[in-house]
Chain A
Amino acid sequence: MKKIYACIILLTAMAGLSSCHLSIGYPERQGIISRASLTPHKIVLVGKVEFDPPMPDTKQELNCPWPSYFRNLMWMVCKNELRGLDYPDKLFPTSPDFGGRIVAPLGETFYVLTDADRPFYILAGVIYMSIYNYGSGGRYYSSIYPGSFFINIKPGDEAVYIGTIRYHRDNFYGLKKVEIIDEYDREMPQFRVRFGAMKLSKAVIRQPREDAVFKMGVPY
């Protein structure tokens, strides 16, 4: 009887994992809630991603075992070099792309650990609009938002603030404009509550030009 239960649990876990196979083996950047959790050779990255207008909670159709894994979250693809995504046409991410991603709750400030002295690029943002899990397989419909944002981490930084990435969208979640907003002064009090007197360096992402054309792997 115990073996049957074990099989059921194993099958359920496999079904659940299939919905998030994209990230298996490619862990996200670890979130951090206080200075006590800071590990050596790591610094804190502070920023925010949001839609304008905001995305309603009901927009995502997540028929999978772990919807909270995707709900209202944007996965930010991060790499050390500026390049396209892994899929042959360089437009869609595959599993390796998601290694070291930032999981950003939309409209909320994220605090994640990143390597000290190691600048990197945010190549794109991915949000799963619908997931249909059929047995061992699944269908995914995602929206991809361009990045090519350089995160300028300098030697000696303890924590870096990159700004608010605001994706202006149309009714079909197509991108109209990308705006980078400096909300350092608004974020600082909350940062101080979490991390005390740690210095939060300002390294706001460069504001794209008004007429910038966004292509994966290409600077704007």
Chain B
Amino acid sequence: MKRGGLYFFIISIICLVFFTYSYAEDIIKMKDGKVYKGVIVSYKKGKYTIMINSKKYTIPESEVSRIWWLATQPELDVNLVGEKISDSRLKDENPFRLYLKTELFRLTPFSQKIMDVYTNGMQGIGGSIGFDQNLDGGALGFMVGGGEGKSTLDSYGTLSDVKLKASFFNLYIIKTQRFLKDFFIQPCFELGVGFQLMTEEADFVFGPMKKTYPGMMGKLLLGADIKPLDFLTFDIKAGYFADSQRSTPRLISYPVQDSDIIVNYALAQYLYIGAGIRYVF
């Protein structure tokens, strides 16, 4: 009998909870025309939290056009003629969302000293993983990238067709300016610092040479963030890229010794042009 009472109590609680939370859903219409259906569970500091299919999302108040609370079907029939409940994704309540990014870039040297040596610049590809603080337009990521280019020496040099391979490892932040709130293109800037491994491969007359040099790198880029969908962002950026490049010698005598090649580091400066796709989970 006691156990029966306990079961009755538990079932009553479950029913109570079920009926408490099974009230009609709210309809929220955004300024961009999208309409979402769910239960708005809180409002805090200019942001609504809405629960759709047991998952919470946040919506900035500034993006909301109108809310129908506990909307009944006749109300919706009158107010939402021709509207479609959007099935596109909203921002999660958790402001830090994991993202993956791929990026293509080109480095064009604009320092004369480097241009004399690495005339062809470098093409590269990178992959990033990080967290997107999408509510304020900020992101913190870790990028691993690699690039490859061909180099030639100046007229005194004997090296030609040197293959350069660089690996970049850098932490970076992205800040998107959200002052154009209702526009899908946002200006943004990116700041990154890290280190790199630069490998030179060349075929010398006395045999192949391969040497790897560690160094530092940094970048400051400006560009545009294009966000056609809530979870997909394209960006185009250009700006300043610098690394501590090995300064290749101008005169190399035969036979070449390693000690002749390993010389001082110098600051190498590039124009960086890149484009990427970011997928936010």
Contact = CB atoms under 8 A, between A and B. Distances in A.
Interface of A: 185-190, 192-193, 196-197, 199-200
B43 A197 contact: no
Interface SS of chain B = strand
B67 interface: yes
A189 B41 contact: yes
Contact of A185 (B24, B41, B67, B70): B67
B48 A189 contact: yes
A163 to B, nearest CB: 16
B69 interface: yes
Contacts of B40: 188-189, 192
A188 B23 contact: no
Interface residues of B, number: 14
Interface SS of chain A = helix
A188 B69 contact: yes
A185 B42 CA distance: 10
A159 to B, nearest CB: 12
Given A185-B67, A188-B69, A189-B48, A197 B42 contact: no
B41 A197 contact: no
B20 interface: yes
A192 to B, nearest CB: 8
B42 A199 contact: no
B147 to A, nearest CB: 50
Contacts of A192: 40-41
A187 to B, nearest CB: 8
Contacts of B67: 185, 188
Contact of A190 (B23, B24, B43): B43
A189 B43 contact: yes
Interface in B39-87: 40-43, 48-49, 61, 64, 67, 69-70
Contact of B23 (A186, A187, A193, A197): A197
Contacts of A187: 43
A188 B49 CA distance: 12
Given A185-B67, A188-B69, A189-B48, A196 B23 contact: yes
B70 A199 contact: yes
B122 to A, nearest CB: 53
Contacts of B23: 196-197
A188 B66 CA distance: 13
A186 B70 contact: no
Contacts of A197: 20, 23-24, 70
Contacts of B70: 197, 199
A200 B69 CA distance: 10
Nearest to B46: A186
Contacts of A190: 42-43
Contacts of B49: 189
A185 B43 contact: yes
A102 B68 CA distance: 29
A55 B69 CA distance: 33
B92 to A, nearest CB: 18
Contacts of B43: 185-190
Contacts of A196: 20, 23
Contacts of A185: 43, 61, 64, 67, 69
A103 to B, nearest CB: 24
